[in-house]
Structure 1
Amino acid sequence: MKKLNWRNIWTNVRLLLMLAVIAFLYSFTSKRNEDRKIKKPIVEFLDEGSLFLTHESVNKLLIEKNQEQQTIGKVNLDLNKLEKSINEHDMVEKSEVFVSIDGVLKAVVKQKTPIARVFENEGSFYIDSEGNRMPLSDINTARVPLVSGEINAVKEQDLYELLKLIHSDDFLKKNIIGVEVLHGGSLKMTNRNFNYVINFGKTKNVEKKFNNYKAFFQKAVQDSTISKYKEINLKFTQQVVCTK
């Protein structure tokens, strides 16, 4: 008869017992984690510098079916639903909602970025960095170019691309404060520090015109002649025509 190897049997038994203990502890911990009540939520904005909605307004969106978060078990919380409700807010570009290990409900929110403010007969609104309408905020005002005039005289996409270029360029973002759409689709712009008007023409060769304007501005500042001009004409891409 073959002799039993009690050492190997005991080793296997101990291994099985260890696995059973680990499984029990994991199940126990998971159950406690699922039953954990949600603590007071925390709202974090990725761009704290200029808020267009309040922490309180996001907190309200984190309340599910009029229940206080503290009475909801972690396992019963629908994070996708909460995240969707925040993302549907007119001021929000995207958000992420999650619960930390210690039961804190947290929402990380990225706001929409306004790049211009449009004035129309129906009212005023922002254009965001994605080219969509964004309502004005009750708590903050964005320092962006003001767009007015016959807005429908220029293609919406063309106007958006021009405004996006202004917003993405450090010099233009600081310099251009107003864009007026004239009859026929030509643009007239105003700058922050000087009294001259920029006759931009239509939304064609936009980058070339802005490069011409930046080259002119740099030279005129160096020559100390910048304050003498009344109009800067950028309609002709081969030259900048200035009127004193």
Structure 2
Amino acid sequence: MKKRVLTYLKFSSLILLVIVLFAFTSKRNKQRKISEVLIEFIEEQDPYVNELMVNKLLIQNDGRVTNVGKEILVLNTVEQKLDSHKMIEHSDVYLTVSGELRARIKQRTPIARVNAVTPFYVDITGNTMPLSDSYSAHVPLVHNVSEREIPEVFPLLKKIQEDEFLKKHVVGVYLNVKGQYELELRVYSFRVVIGEVENLTGKIKNFKAFYQKALRDKSLDKYKKVSLQFSNQVVCTIK
């Protein structure tokens, strides 16, 4: 009987000790300050937002995050603050056991720059984003298009972004006085008239076929305008 009571007391003492140690460790962990902030930019992207900007977004209570106790820092709030930045698509913020605050950042991807009174980018999702103080994107310039018209022209901008041939050659998109969209090329001086933003796959296929033939014939410098707006036709205007 005494042996059983002794075993019970030892077991109870062990449980109590574990509880005390857990409470002590938990308290110390909460009181521990954030030791370091590490920022990682996922995917290889141009630096539209830099570490300094992210650090500013991480500032809490008028002080640096490294001055904040771990129990004060609310990770969801920090993520929401980062995600609200117009250059950031998504963030993932977490704490390590050693007290490091780590933030994984995915930036938004601009595919065109609109030449307006206040210039802005159009990103890969069709939304607008401001210009960056850190980096200027090498994307086609869009002229004579307002923010209200972005949904209309976006399929053309996305097509240019996704097609390696167009991405290599197209440097500008214009909306002319007739309401037709035109493309400006990097090397050649002729304009490519797309017309309305419809049947883009067929129009681009016809343009590629024309381009390859004219390249072989060494006649690309002869043209002033190449129109793709008519069904299954490429209509050229000589200089």
Asked whether the two chains share a fold, i.e. TM above 0.5, the reply is yes
- 2:122 is aligned with 1:127: yes
Alpha-carbon contact 1:154-1:181 (below 8 Å) kept? no
The equivalent position to 2:136 in structure 1, one of 136, 141, 156, is 141
CA distance in 2, matches of 1:154, 1:98: 38
- Of 209, 216, 239, 1:215 maps to 209
Q: Give the length in aligned residue pairs.
A: 238
Q: Which moved more, 1:72-81 or 1:25-34?
A: 25-34
Partner of 2:90: 94
Counterpart of 2:142 in 1: which secondary structure? strand
Residue 194 (structure 1) aligns with? 188
Q: Which string of whole-angstrom CA distances, capped at 9 and with x for unpartnered residues, describes residues 193-225 of structure 1?
A: 222210111112122111221222233334443
RMSD over aligned Cα, in angstroms?
A: 2.7
Q: Secondary structure at the match of 1:140?
A: coil
Distance in 2 (CA, whole Å) between partners of 1:73 and 1:153 is: 44
2: CA distance, partners of 1:206 / 1:154: 21
Which residue is equivalent to 1:65?
A: 61
Q: Does residue 224 of structure 2 align to residue 230 of structure 1?
A: yes
1:135 partner amino acid: P
Matched residue of 1:57: which SS?
helix
Deviation at 1:234, TM superposition (A): 0.6
Determine the C-alpha separation between the residues in 2 that align with 1:152 and 1:171. Answer: 26
On the 8 A contact 1:37/1:73 being kept in 2, the answer is yes
> Is the 2:193–2:225 contact (alpha carbons within 8 Å) kept by the matching residues of 1?
yes
CA 1:22 to 1:180, structure 2 compared with 1: closer, same or farther past 3 Å?
A: same
Q: Structure 1: 5+ residue runs without aligned partners?
A: none
Assess if the C-alpha contact under 8 Å between 2:155 and 2:197 holds in 1: no
* In structure 2, C-alpha distance between the alignment counterparts of 1:235 and 1:202, rounded to whole Å: 7
Partner-residue secondary structure (3-state), 2:119? strand
Residues 234 and 35 (structure 1), Cα distance of their counterparts in 2 relative to 1, 3 Å cut:
same
Q: Unpaired runs of 5+ in structure 2?
A: none
TM-score for both structures, normalised by structure 2: 0.86
Distance between the aligned counterparts of 2:128 and 2:163, measured in 1? 21
| Alignment match, 2:104 | 108
SS in 2 for 1:85: helix
Q: Cα distance, 1:18 vs. partner? A: 5.9
